[in-house]
Amino acid sequence: MFKLPALPRLPGLDAVVTEFDTVLRTLAAPATSGRAHPDAHIDEAELDEAEKRHAAGLMRVNHSGEICAQALYQGQALTARDPANRDALRQAAQEEVEHLAWTERRIEALGSHRSLLNPLWYAGSLAIGVTAGLVGDRWNLGFLAETERQVGAHLQAHLGTLPPQDAKSRAVVEQMYHDEMGHADLAVELGAAELPLPLKAVMGLSSKLMTSLSYRF
Ligand SMILES: [Fe+2]
Ligand SMILES: [Fe+2]
């Protein structure tokens, strides 16, 4: 028998208010981590001004990436159809909050500031997340898996260029990499579709734009 496709779930007013609260908290309030910061047991290394500036730039990029992750997960959870998928998305988002807290603290310790462009990245990523959720859960999860893989590749690249003696930043990036790969695996387990190559390429280009701007501003 012909079966109508499931309609996208649209959020109610109470959900919108709650989500707006999340936006404000993500952008304005300091994030906190339930887990110990991965670098808590490591001493601060001697870094010259150029090394400090470079490490801070990379941590600022990672922080902006986590702002994007918050918005993406929030948008996707708002519109995901399957409650089990929504719960998994919220659980992963909680780990992203911890990443926010870790990168925030590294940026401060390196004497720098968070990206001024974060509200822009948040708005763009929220719109992308909502759209991905509306397209359907398999594509939503596919988008998530690909995002996490691309973030993982960035983190690996950062490990290659961070000052070798900056063990604190390296410990944070290594744990984040481990978590992001877990998020990608989770999305695949939940039934993620493999995205078409051109879409992956567009995602790669937009993340390049974000990283080069957040490194500087
Ligand atoms: Fe993350
Ligand atoms: Fe992640």
Mean pLDDT of the chain: 84
pTM of the model: 0.80
**How remote is the CA of residue 48 from the centroid of ligand 2, in Å?**
31
pLDDT tens digit sequence for 163-200: 999 999 999 999 999 999 998 998 898 888 888 788 78
Cβ < 5 A residues, ion ligand 2: 148, 180, 183
pLDDT tens digit sequence for 11-49: 566 666 666 666 666 776 777 878 889 999 999 999 999
**How remote is the CA of residue 2 from the centroid of ligand 2, in Å?**
38
**How remote is the CA of residue 164 from the centroid of ligand 1, in Å?**
22
Among all ligands shown, which has an atom nearest to the Cα of 148? 2
For the chain, the DSSP string reads: ---PPPPPPPP-HHHHHHHHHHHHHHHHSPP--SSPPTTTTSPPPP--HHHHHHHHHHHHHHHHHHHHHHHHHHHHHHH-SSHHHHHHHHHHHHHHHHHHHHHHHHHHHTT----TTHHHHHHHHHHHHHHHHHH-HHHHHHHHHHHHHHHHHHHHHHHHHS-TT-HHHHHHHHHHHHHHHHHHHHHHHTTPPPPPHHHHHHHHHHHHHHHHHHHH-
Among all ligands shown, which has an atom nearest to the Cα of 97? 1
Among all ligands shown, which has an atom nearest to the Cα of 31? 1
Among all ligands shown, which has an atom nearest to the Cα of 62? 1
